[in-house]
Amino acid sequence: MRFGAADSAGVRRIIFWRHGRTEWNARGLFQGQEDIPLDEVGRQQAREAAAELAHLAPARLISSDLARAADTANELASLTGLSVHLDARVRETNAGEWQGLAFADIAARFPADQEAWRGGDPEVRAGGAESRVDVGQRMAKGTLDAAAGLAVGETLVVASHGGAIRAGLAALMGLPPHLWSSLSGVSNCHWSVLEELDGGAGLPTRWQLIEHNVGLASMPSTPLEG
């Protein structure tokens, strides 16, 4: 299902948008919180995806403070007139010793932790640093703080990172951590959409996933984290 601006009346929505490609993405390196810029392909992806997302008339735009996400967000800002609000809480996973390593090298040097990570263990710490639960908690807090300013019918765009988006979606939907691996990752410049569900009768707001890992046909679907 693809929603449009005309469909937004009565609900609030959050769009999680992964940054465009970087050289490290192309080389298969785990970026984590290293501040790696977009490459030329990534800049073109950001321009093309921004043109699509602009049709959805977002009301608010926040971004990770890492350049690859912030520069992606700026492409949407230039089309919509929105300001980009930077928030370190929607950064990628801090992957400690894994940052800058190829996934094959991580598997060779840290086989047990890497196998647990690939298997979806939410508690294992990437490179000895953050777990997916850590990331999901800060992603949810940063996102909900931004969404609190939305009026009914408005949409928030969060420019972030593959692993962070996956953890944030799972946390916001209230999935038990052992089920977080049931969500796939998000490819470069693809996006996922949550829609608010009214809990009613004093119950808390819930969030429903209505689109996941959506992108333009011109962009490859390679949802690796990092």
Instruction: Give the catalytic positions in this structure.
Output: 19, 92
Cβ(177)–Cβ(133) below 8 Å: yes
What is the 8-class DSSP label of residue 123?
T
Spatial distance between the Cα atoms of 31 and 160, rounded to a whole number of angstroms: 13
- Cβ-contact 56, 4 below 8 angstroms: yes
- What is the rounded CA–CA span in Å between residue 169 and residue 192? 9
Sign of the dihedral through C-alpha 174, 87, 226, 116: negative
- H/E stretch holding 149: none
